Structure 1
Amino acid sequence: MSRRSKAREVVVQMLYQVDLNPDVATPTVFGMIDEQIGDEKTANFAKQLFGGVLKFRDMLDEKITAVAENWSLSRMAATDRNVLRLGAFELLQTETPHPVVLNEAIELARKFGNDQSPQFVNGILDRLVPAEKRTKTRPASGTPRPAGPGPAPAAP
């Protein structure tokens, strides 16, 4: 498992914890992240994700609810709800490519949810992918996809 995947896994666990126990303080959660991850760089990434989800939680919940036909957040399994919050945050507030976000969220849903969770999470998050992210990752019509990983893109 990659370090970022591990960070996302821990973030979902911490979001679940706070969802069920809203009185848990952020510094306490950050301490738990440090304990579970150990690596400072990865722990900092997890803290950024966790903090971002909390900061934008109301907006994320609105966006999720808007595309989740016939589903309210309260009816969703707590694990699915928090995987969706993390995925929505990464889609809407970070530069992480949408295929990465979707793949990571599906794996988290597979690990923490039930048999239907991966499909449910994928369906909702796919509706939240911003148009500009879709166009960044799709080659122009008729342009072949690279055969291998190729060179890393230049930093912005």
Structure 2
Amino acid sequence: MARRSRARETALQLLYRQDLNPAGNLESAGEFIEERLEDQALRDFCWKLFTGALEWRNVIDTRIEEVAANWSLRRMAPTDRNVLRLGAYELLYTDTPNRVVIDESLELAKKFGNAQSSQFVNGILDQLMPTLTDESPDAPTQAM
């Protein structure tokens, strides 16, 4: 597994955990990262993805629901919902090339989701990609 892929996987696991247990603390998230990633640069990358997706979650969730025809976030499988949040964050707020974000998100959906997850994630992120690259992001709203 590629180094950054492992950091994305860890960030997804943390987002999933936070989604299902919003009262969880960030200190335990830091410990989780340290247990799974040896390289400090990867830890920093993972932390940035996790905290960034949380910070911008309200904006990201709104954009996902705008393009997810007939789907609300609460109806989505928690894994799919968090793969989308992670991918949307990386598309919006990092300099990672869009195609890399899409490919990495699809791999996460295949690994952690069900048989249709990768198609679902691909469809949503593909619709978000032009919107995200053409618009400036809104101010963050706290999601924690």
The residue type equivalent to 2:48 in the other structure is Q
Question: How far apart are residue 130 of structure 1 and its match?
Answer: 3.3
Equivalent residue runs for 1:7-156 within 5 Å:
7-130=7-130, 133=133
What does residue 154 of structure 1 align with? none
Distance 2:131 2:55 in 1: 23
**Structure 1 segments of 4 or more deviating over 2 A?**
130-134
Q: Gapped runs of 5+ residues in structure 1?
A: 135-156
The residue type equivalent to 1:45 in the other structure is F
Between structures 1 and 2, the one with greater helix share: 2
Contact 2:92 2:132 in 1 (8 A): no
Q: Which of the pair has the greater relative contact order for Cα pairs under 8 Å at 6+ separation?
A: 2
| Percent of pairs with identical residues | 54
Distance 2:84 2:39 in 1: 25
The residue type equivalent to 1:130 in the other structure is P
RMSD: 1.4
Distance 2:7 2:73 in 1: 24
Contact 1:79 1:109 in 2 (8 A): yes
Question: How far apart are residue 133 of structure 1 and its match?
Answer: 4.8
The residue type equivalent to 1:27 in the other structure is E
- Matched position secondary structure for 1:38: coil
Distance 1:35 1:124 in 2: 32
What does residue 2 of structure 1 align with? 2
Distance 2:93 2:65 in 1: 17
The residue type equivalent to 1:104 in the other structure is E
CA deviation map 1:109-147 (0-9, x unaligned) = 00000000000000000011136859xxxxxxxxxxxxx
Contact 1:92 1:130 in 2 (8 A): no
The residue type equivalent to 2:102 in the other structure is L
Distance 2:131 2:123 in 1: 16
Q: TM-score, normalised by structure 1?
A: 0.83
